[in-house]
Structure 1
Amino acid sequence: MSTEDELRGYVRSLMEARTNVRAVAAETGLSKTTVNELRMGRRRVSLDALTKVVGAYAPAEVADARQAWHRVQPPRPRRAPTAPAETAPTGSGPEAAAPDLGLRREEAPGASGGGSPGGVEKRNRWLPVGLWPRVVYAAIAVLAAVAVADGVRAVADREPDPATAAAAPCITPAQETTAQLTKPTGTTPVTLTEVAYHLQRVDPPRLEIAAALSGAVPDGSTVQILERADPATVDSTPEHHPGNGRYYPRPSIRSVGGCVYVPQNQIGYAGFAGMRLRYTVVLLPARFADSIVADSHAGDGLSEQDLARYSMTRLGWFEFRV
């Protein structure tokens, strides 16, 4: 990348693979306003935004991307040397007055009487008296406008406040399909109260999930959602592969208070349509948060027997056909 346009196009290509602005904002930590303006080319790519986007979608390229950013920045103009200040004239005659700006000095009433030498009272060397308030007020207004603009920009770029996020509803209109939940018998530390999702029936399909719990996730625990393809169903490829019945934890999952969110990501593969999927919401010790994902990658999913290693509590599940 040798130009700023190429850098902007690179960032847009990373984000455009995710069609949902809200998902990009959640995955990168940028505000939705920033994401939208970057995708539409209305905002310059800052080093912070570049690092967050590349770090989320192409982490191996972060160092190269940052070097490219520094490379395409325009050179800073050099400051001209400051000329020494000229000494203002000190005489009292007309030659010593301020430069002629087309503004007349005012004469005080009764100027022919006492006062300054020559009978002229110098009210203002630069501007008429009545113009000063307007100049001062205009300067204050400009400074205030700049401060407000900087404040709005800072709020737009700020990451979501956890307290604010916790007070917001867990389910939004973006997840338009409400899941039919099945809950286990017995008591659990928290209960699963609602789940909704957004399924993009593209090839391969993409899925976003949001869930609400009865309370905050207990200390020392984390929430995970496991995907399983029903072996009694087949995909739409010419071979009609059946589901393998193994469990796949979501690689990216977030929880704030009693809200759980899985950003939009690809599920299955091209030709995955036709499968019936079950998603099981579980509570497991936080020490297994990373290892359950790594073990799934290493073993192409987890069996029912494998799940016993993680001391998990099942909160409920839902199903749908792709």
Structure 2
Amino acid sequence: MYKQYSCEHRDKCFEKGQEWIEKCGTYTCKVVYNNGIYICEPIRIRQECTDIHGNCHGSGETFPFNCTGIPCDCTCETDDNPVRYRCQVPNVKKRIRADLTSTPKSDEGIPFSNRMDKARSIKKLKQALPITPNKRAAVLSAYVDCNRILKSPGVKKFHDSFEESVEKMAIRNIQDVITSVKHKRNGEAKAAFNILTSSISGENISDRKRATKSLANILGVNSRTLQKGEKNRTKVLHSEHSSFLYTTRKTRSDALTERTKRIVHDFWLQSNVSRPTNNKYDIKRVRISPNVYSSHSCYILEKTQTEVFLQFKNEYPDEKMGQRAFEKCKP
């Protein structure tokens, strides 16, 4: 049968072996049978430390103490009797220098003058909050979501940092997908990789070269990969900016005109310069666009290319071009 035992030191009854704290020490219960009743007698098993404010501390716990006017960090040693304090005095000069050089952070949105002030406020808040974690979270959430509190600079900064963390998490997800896909060679992986690079290579990034390199370093890819994604994006999107790569392309100042190219092309086909071969199978096929080809017969030169170029310069002295550009325009 379950029995409860009376206790001389507390109004509450304790079971055998149960511990409780009284004054500044931890006790355990010993049951003694006396005059027909069970009496719970305490046995001291561990003595606690008491600081100058009367607060109890356990063995090995570090707490602030005041040794001859100098603040120090004390460690409670209570395994042996009597109770002893072990103090470690910090470097007072460094602390004074830091206090003199430090400026109040109220201008930055932090109302605490030092870390101790912040620690005391957090301790008071913890003592005022409920014990259970769910109730604590509910109270803090309701307090932060209040419209009046949202106007506070500190709370606003907290919300801004939360939004930044969401952006970082999104970038981390993109990094994981790119890392798992970029080394695969199947069609689905390539399609997924092209979709990712095209979606993040918009005009806001592609217009700035430094931003493109920074994004490439973050994602772990080459900057040329983002440039390729930018080209794929222009092919897919049908908007007023879909062809901006081709409309804003920079051309050379000495580029050949279509008229000059046609003159050179016809000059190469003159009878005194070249003649077609007698073999009907000597056909040159050139791709000019997707699925569109241009075919013409192969020609044999009657003289060297240098002689042809010098003859062209004599007949057309107004056309300013070099021999390499002249050779590129031949059929």
Q: TM-score range by the shorter chain?
A: under 0.3
**Larger Rg: 1 or 2?**
2
TM, length-normalised to structure 2: 0.17
TM, length-normalised to structure 1: 0.17
* Structure with bigger RCO (C-alpha 8 Å, 6+ apart): 1
